Amino acid sequence: MDSQGGITVQRALELPGLRGGLPEVVAGAERLGRTVRWVHAGEVPNIASLLKGGELLLTTGLGLGTRPAEQRAFVRRLAERGIAALVVELGPRFSRLPATIVDTARAAGLPLVALHREVPFVTVTEEIHTEIVNGHYALLQRAEEVHRRCTEALLSGGGVPQVLSILADFTANPVFLETPDGQLLYAAAGSAEAGADPLQVWEGLRGQRESRESGPPTGAALVDVPGGGHGTGAVRARLVLLAVAAPLLPVHRMAAERAAGILAVVLMQARQEEELAARGRGDFLTDLAEGRITAEDAPAQAKVLGFKPGEGPLLPVVMRLASELSPTGNWAVLARAVLEELSSVGVPVLLGVRPVEGRVPLLLGLRSESERTAVADRVAAALRAGVERAGLARAGARPVVVVGVAGGWAAASAGLRHAGETAAAAQGLSERPWYDARRLDIDLLLWRLREHPDLAAFVERAIGPLRTHDAASRPPLLPTLETYLAHAGRKAETARELHLNRQTLYNRLARIAELLGTDLDDPQTVLALSLALRARRHVP
């Protein structure tokens, strides 16, 4: 079965109707893979004018003419019309095909078949047409299967990215969603297209469009997503399918048209286009952090997304929200609010969202390293304000903002990854406007060991008696130990922060030493206790 909804000439010759005529391919054997869209039978000299292309023409040769010039003209007109093949039944008109016909068909690249036995043309026609109709039905079934999967993805809590990913997997090519004026909203590569980055493909597509005056790009299919206005035929967005790794087939357009109907419903929700663009930027920043985009390719791809930093260093920042937040929050409002807050900072900003992980990664273009602290203050304040405006804040759950190391694109990749992991490790630390990723490496190391049984055993050995005490008695002693170690054993400062007189503090410290059976003045003991207090956030 031809994947475009017809059958090949080769398949038609294998069906019982034509097979019974003992077919002999006398020209164009290398083109038997042509698609047969329909079957026509006729005996008139001007039959080419009645055809549209793609037909398999059945004839006894009565319309071919008797003179070589007539025969050449007949075959050439059929070839120019683009028919799939010419099938001539030998008999009263021709006992064998004239060399003129064979040579002309061979020169024109037209498959020419001679039937050595008489066959009922009506039987052949019905048989091939049934095969073609069944093929079209199979294509419709494949397109409907894609539609079903897209619908299930939405019902399971997915959104436009999941729909585009399903479509990209089905076509084995990248798929893009753009605004009516050609601005990229989201790109999906598909699992079968891991070799080409979709943003690089999009940059090439944009260049191809700019070099053309009109019409779709070569090897592309464009499908409108309706619903952009009140008038009939209004377009809200556009699906773009590109033939990069595999050819685009009619079934792919069918699937895209069905997906467009689903996308139209999803995009009716407010600010969906903004959220898609923010998700696309979040995907780019995540791919950069995880090494799927190289430092060499990153600048050009970031430019596609509107990020054009200067020659100064790049500052990676990651905000992590509470893990219990729903990914269906108002992320578009968050992205817009943060960008509005940062508009006065005067530095280029690339902000993305990753709703499923509850993360907001950013890259900022600094003029110099000396700006790092001031810009980090502004960014952290903008992120927190955006969380409030978007209604993503939850009681008792605060966002964690981590600022990485400034540097070039290679440093930005490592910095985003480091900041993202550190943001997870910083959950539960004392609240700060933002954390410097460089100062939380111990917390990150402990977080990475959180599932190792030795970490829980270490915490239990080091401070287990204090945890048992605090669960049953008052006042709790762990806060006293934590404050004491935070002030490097300076008792006066510890008492002042805890609002205790010195004697009360001395008594508590003595009780802690007694319960733990250790000396709080011993440096190794202090180190172990400090690590245990930091690790207890990550163990039961």
Tell me: the pLDDT tens digits for 96-153?
A: 999 999 999 999 999 999 999 999 999 899 888 888 877 767 777 878 888 888 888 8
Structural fold of domain 275-448: Alpha-Beta Plaits (3.30.70)
Task: Return the CATH architecture of domain 157-268.
Answer: 2-Layer Sandwich (3.30)
Residue 401 pLDDT grade (very low, low, confident, very high; cuts 50, 70, 90):
very high
Judged on CB neighbours under 10 Å (0-12, 13-18, 19+), 385 is: middle
Which superfamily, per CATH, for 7-130? HprK N-terminal domain-like (3.40.1390.20)
pLDDT digits (tens, 9 = 90+) for 319-368: 998 655 555 557 888 888 888 888 877 889 999 988 888 889 999 999 99
pLDDT at residue number 243: 82
pLDDT of residue 217: 62
Q: Which of 502, 507, 514 is closest to 475 using CA atoms?
A: 507
Distance separating alpha carbons of residues 471 and 466, to the nearest angstrom: 9
How far, in Å, CA of 203 to CA of 183, rounded?
11
Helix boundaries (H) for 330-451: 331-342, 372-390, 409-425, 441-448
AA letter at 290: E
222 — pLDDT class (breaks 50, 70, 90): confident
Tell me if 275-448 shares its fold with 453-538: no
- pLDDT (tens digit per residue) in 281-298: 998 999 999 998 889 989
Short-list 392, 418, 393, CA closest to 405: 418
> Domain coordinates of the chain in residue numbers?
7-130, 157-268, 275-448, 453-538
Q: Residue 72's pLDDT is what?
A: 93
pLDDT tens-digit series, residues 422-481: 998 888 788 889 999 999 989 889 888 988 899 999 999 999 999 999 888 889 999 999
φ/ψ bin of 330: left (φ > 0), alpha (ψ from -120 to 50), beta (otherwise) = beta
Q: Which of 47-61, 135-149, 181-195, 247-261 has the lowest mean pLDDT?
A: 181-195
Please, which residues bridge with residue 115 across strands? 23, 89
Residues of the chain with pLDDT > 70, as a percent, come to 89
Q: Which CATH number applies to 453-538: 1.20.1630.10, 2.40.30.110, 1.10.10.2840, 3.30.465.10?
A: 1.10.10.2840
Q: How far apart are CA 484 and CA 158, in angstroms?
A: 49
C-alpha to C-alpha distance for 308 and 322, rounded to whole angstroms: 31
> In this structure, are residues 402 and 317 in contact, taking their beta carbons and an 8 Å threshold?
yes
What is the band of 379 on the pLDDT scale with cuts at 50, 70, 90?
Answer: very high
Return the higher-pLDDT residue of 257 and 268.
257
Position 185 confidence tier, pLDDT thresholds 50, 70, 90: confident
pLDDT higher at 269 or 238? 238
* Average pLDDT of the segment spanning 387-403: 77
- Degrees, nearest 5: CA angle 231-236-237: 145
